[in-house]
Homo-oligomer: A and B are copies of this chain.
Amino acid sequence: MPTNQDHIVSSYSDELATLAQLIAEMGGQVEVAIENGTKSLLKLDRELADLTIIADQRIDDMQRRIDDMAVSMIARRQPMASDLRAIITSIHVAADLERVGDMAKQLARRSLKLEGLSLQPTFYNGVKNMTGLVLRQIKDALDAYASRDAAASIEVCNRDDEVDAMHTSLFRELLTYMMEDPRNITPCTHLLFCAKNLERIGDHATNIAERAYYLQTGKQLTSDVQELHRTQIKA
């Protein structure tokens, strides 16, 4: 028969598990939002765009729930330093995810603005490739966070250079379309902002991975550690 002490401990760890579960759920919703937001953009699908915009409210609600639960746990449980750090981190990760949801909403809104503007399919290629990469970054960052995997966290942070390089090259490509034909200026400007949104989603993935690394190791992820990891991978 469980003692009273067991009961308290078990219910506390239940709460910690619930908090982790909420973050995972919110992460899942955010991944779907990125997929739908970019799909609405690539296919100019108004229904999917509306769906993504509405979904953002649910993501915002999730953030509030996680915030409230974290604060209430701290108030009632008075957790030890390491648990406290983990609970505060969940507040930060939820804030990052909320912002990613916002980016997905902005992608969906751009698709509504692009309707009716003539846009050659090739213009979209770069955005499409970038979407694949940042979606992977978010998934991997959330996995690293859930499993407290320091090595996986470093990989996400290192891969952010790829996202940035892709963004820079897409930026230049879109500028050339704009210079070729003034009619391309308005639609390509919207795509420039989409590319920027995707780049920022990549930054949020890095933030989450850095927090996962800190939770696991108790140390900030420095560029030295990232470089060392790169060398080891190549070796």
Q: What is the interface of chain A, defined by CB distance below 8 A to chain B?
A: 67, 71, 74-75, 78-81, 84-85, 88, 91-92, 95, 175, 178-179, 182, 185-186, 189, 192-193, 196
**Contact yes or no, B75 A81, CB < 8 A:** yes
Q: How far is the CB of A181 from chain B (nearest CB, A)?
A: 9
Q: Which residues of B contact A88 (CB under 8 A)?
A: 67, 71, 91
Instruction: Return A219 CB to nearest CB of chain B, in Å.
Output: 13
Q: A71-B85, A175-B189 are in contact. List 11 more A-B contacts (CB 8 A).
A: A71-B84, A71-B88, A74-B74, A75-B84, A88-B91, A95-B95, A175-B185, A175-B186, A178-B178, A178-B185, A189-B189
**Shortest CB distance A40–B (Å):** 21
**Distance of A144 from chain B, by nearest CB (Å):** 21
Q: Which residue of B lies closest to A64 (CB)?
A: B220
Contacting residues, chain B, for A71 (C-beta < 8 A): 84-85, 88
| Bound Cα distance A150, B175 (Å) | 45
User: Can you identify 25 A-B contacts, CB atoms within 8 angstroms?
Assistant: A71-B84, A71-B85, A71-B88, A75-B79, A75-B80, A75-B81, A75-B84, A78-B78, A88-B91, A91-B91, A92-B95, A175-B185, A175-B186, A175-B189, A178-B178, A178-B182, A178-B185, A178-B189, A179-B182, A182-B182, A189-B189, A192-B192, A192-B193, A193-B196, A196-B196
Chain B residue numbers with a CB within 8 Å of A185 are 175, 178-179, 185
Residue in chain B with minimal CB distance to A81: B75
| Bound CA–CA A70/B160 (angstroms) | 30
| Residues of chain B contacted by A196 (CB below 8 angstroms) | 193, 196
In the complex, how many angstroms separate the beta carbon of A141 from the nearest chain B beta carbon? Answer: 18
Query: What's the Cα separation between A196 and B95 when bound, in Å?
Result: 21
Residue numbers in B under 8 Å from A175 (CB-CB): 185-186, 189
A208 to chain B, nearest CB (A): 14
A78 cross-chain contacts in B, Cβ below 8 A: 78
The complex places the Cα of A79 from the Cα of B85 at a distance, in Å, of 16
Most B CB atoms within 10 A — which of A78, A81, A88? A88
